[in-house]
Structure 1
Amino acid sequence: MRILLSNDDGYHAPGIAALAHALDPIADITVVAPERDRSGASNSLTLDRPLQLRRAPSGFHYVNGTPTDCVHLAVTGMLEHLPDMVVSGINHGTNMGDDTIYSGTVAAATEGFLLGVPSIAISLVGKQPEHFATAARVARELVERFQREPFAAPVLLNVNVPDLPYEALRGVRITRLGRRHRAEPVVRAQNPRGETIYWVGPAGPAAEAGEGTDFHAVAAGFVSVTPLQIDLTHTAQLEGVANWLQR
C-alpha cells in the first residue's frame, strides 16, 4: 500500500513525524509537506510563482507552498503511481466544525480526495496537545481497516482525537460537524515602527455542540470521524432563489 503524508504545520512538526513512524511498518510512505507552518491556508494553490521541491535529511520532502500545493504537486508531478491513500496531519490542535473551512490539514486531504484518492485528515485536540502517539495509533488503525475493507469510492474523513493516553479513549463515533460562535475580535497592536498591526483573534467557542457533533464526541472522550463532501450547493435554497429571480 502506498500512502502520501502531508500536513499544514510543516515537515518538521512532531505530528507528521509521529504519523510517519506509525505508518511506515504497514505501508510505503512518502512525505510531502510545507517548508513552514501554513496553518489556516485552506485550499489555496500557489499560482503566482513556481514551487520548489526539496528533500530534508529525514527523507521527508518539503515544498515552498501550501498544503494543497504539496498534495497536488506530489500526485500530479512527483509520484510515479497514484497513492492508495492520502493522510494529512497529525494537526497540532482542533479541526472541528467551522475549522474545516480554514484548515490546511483538511485542505491537504481534500486535494487528495479531489484527485480521486481516499483521504484522511487527523487532528489532536488541545491547545498544547501532547499525545501524538495516541493520534498516530488511531490513524494506523483506520489505515489498517481500509486495507482490509477499502471503500468502493474515494472518501474524505475528518478525524479528531482527544489529547488522552490511548487507553483512556472511550471509542470511536461517527459524527457531523458542529458550529462555532463568531470568532473573537482581531487584536490590535503596534510594531517597532509605531505602525498599527492586527492579529487575527482566536476561534469562538462551540455554538452547536449537541449530541451527534464532533465537539460533543471529543468532549466525551471519543474519537470523532466525520465524512466530508465538497459540494457547497445549498440544495434547500435552489427553489427559493429561482423564484426570487423570476419576480
Structure 2
Amino acid sequence: MKILISNDDGVYAPGLLALSQALSTIGEVVVVAPNEEQSGYASALSVSKPLHTHQLPSGFIAVNGSPADCVHLALHELYRDVDFDCVITGINSGANLGQDVMFSGTFGAALTAQLLGIPAIATSLVGGGVKNGGQESASDYQVAANEIVKLLTDTSILEFLKSLPYHVLNVNIPDMDSNSDIKGRKVTSLGHKQIAEPVRHMIDPRGRDAYWLSLRKCKNSKHKNERPLDSSAKSTNQKNVVLTSGMTDDQAVAAGYISLSPVRLHHTPAGALDKLLALDL
C-alpha cells in the first residue's frame, strides 16, 4: 500500500509524525506538509507565488504553502509517477467537527486528493487540546494513530471511498489513554453548533484595531440544520462499526466513539436545480 500524508499543523507537528510511524507498519509512506502551521486554509491553492520544497532529515518534505498546495504538488509533480492507494491527512491537533470541515486545512488537503480521484481520509484528535503544558509529542497521538491503522486494515473503507467520487471521509477520534477505552466506531452526519465569539476585537500595541477570528463553539448549544442518516440504515456485520440514524459527529465523540462522516462536495443537488429552474430568471 502506498500512502501520501499531509496536514495543516505543519511538518514538525507530532500528530503528523505519529501518523507516519503508524502507517509505515502497513505500507510505503510519503510525507509532504506545510513548513509552518496552516490551520483554516481549507483547500486554498497558492497561485500568486512560487512554492519551494525542503527535505528534512526524516525524509519529510516541507513546502512553503497550504495543505492543499502540498497534496497538489505531491500528486502532480514530486511523486507524479507514484500510484497512491490513498491520501491520509492529520492527525489534526483538535476537532474538525460539523461546519468546521469547510475551513479545515486538514479536510481541504484530503479534498484536493479526492478531486483527483484518490481515496482520502481526514483525521483529527478530539478532546486533548494542547497537551502536556504545550509540549506535545508523537506518543500523545499513538492511540489515534493505532485506530487509523485498524480502520484501514480491518475494514474495506478504501474500497468504499473508491466507489464514491468527490467524497472525503472525515474521521474524529476521541482522546483516550488507551485503545480499549474507545467504544467503537459510528457513522455520523455533520453536526452544527453556534460559534461562541466569531470575531474578537482588540487594540494592538500600536493603537490599531485588530481582529481575531475564532471557530470556538458555544457550550451546550442546540444543534441546528442537522441531517440524520437515511432511516433505512441498519447495523452491519463489520467489526466495531454501527450505523445509526440521527447521530452527529460531535455527539459520537462525546460518547467515546470514533466518528466517521462521509462528506460530499463538488455536487449540485437535483432538487436545487429544479427550484432554480422554476424561477422567472
> Normalised by the size of structure 2, how large is the TM-score?
0.82
Matches within 5 A, 1:84-103: 84-103=85-104
The 3 A distance-change label for structure 1 pair 207 and 75 is: farther
Counterpart check, 1:68 vs 2:68: yes
67-76 or 147-156, larger mean C-alpha shift: 147-156
Counterpart of 2:175 in structure 1: which amino acid? D
User: 1:225 matched to which residue of 2?
Assistant: 260
Counterpart of 1:240? Answer: 275
Equivalents in 1 of 2:125, 2:157: separation in Å?
Answer: 25
Q: Give the Cα–Cα distance (whole angstroms) in 2 for the partners of residues 191 and 182 of structure 1.
A: 24
Matched residues in 2 for 1:148 and 1:10: separation?
Answer: 26
Write the letter of the residue equivalent to 1:240. K
Distance in 2 between residues matched to 1:146 and 1:2, nearest whole Å: 17
Report the Cα distance in structure 2 between the residues aligned to 1:184 and 1:47, rounded to whole angstroms: 32
Q: Which residue of 2 aligns with 1:167?
A: 180
1:81 is aligned to 82
Q: Deviations over 1:108-154 (max 9, x none)?
A: 11111111111110000125165411110111112224679733535
Give the match's secondary structure for 2:189.
Answer: coil
Q: Could you give the per-residue CA deviations for residues 17-51 of structure 1, whole angstroms, max 9, x where no partner exists?
A: 00011111211100000010000000100000111
What's the TM-score once normalised by structure 1's chain length?
0.92
CA distance in 2, matches of 1:164, 1:71: 30
> Which residue pairs with 1:201 in the alignment?
214
8 Å contact 2:151–2:157 — kept in the other structure?
A: no
* Identity of matched residues, %: 40
* Distance in 2 between residues matched to 1:232 and 1:127, nearest whole Å: 34
CA RMSD of aligned residues (A): 2.0
| Equivalent residues in 2 for 1:170-181, closer than 5 Å | 170-181=183-194
Which range moves more in the overlay, 79-88 or 32-41?
Answer: 79-88
* SS of corresponding position for 1:135: helix
> 139, 142, 155: which one pairs with 1:133?
142
2:251 is the counterpart of 1:216: yes
Displacement of 1:215 in angstroms is 1.1
Which residues of structure 2 form unaligned runs of 5+? 132-139, 229-245
State the match for 2:31 in structure 1. Answer: 31
How many angstroms does 1:183 deviate by? 5.0
Q: Matches of residues 98-109 of structure 1 in structure 2 within 5 Å?
A: 98-109=99-110
Count of residues paired in the alignment: 246
Equivalent pair of 1:129/1:163 in contact (CA under 8 Å): no
Equivalent-residue separation in structure 1 for 2:55 and 2:268 (angstroms): 40
CA distance in 2, matches of 1:115, 1:234: 21
The residue that corresponds to 2:117 in the other structure is 116
How far 1:189 sits from its partner (Å)? 1.5
Partner residue, 1:143: 152
Report if the CA contact (8 A) 1:97-1:215 is conserved: yes
Structure 1 position 192, deviation (Å): 2.0
Deviation at 1:234, TM superposition (A): 4.3
Give the C-alpha shift of residue 82 in structure 1.
2.3
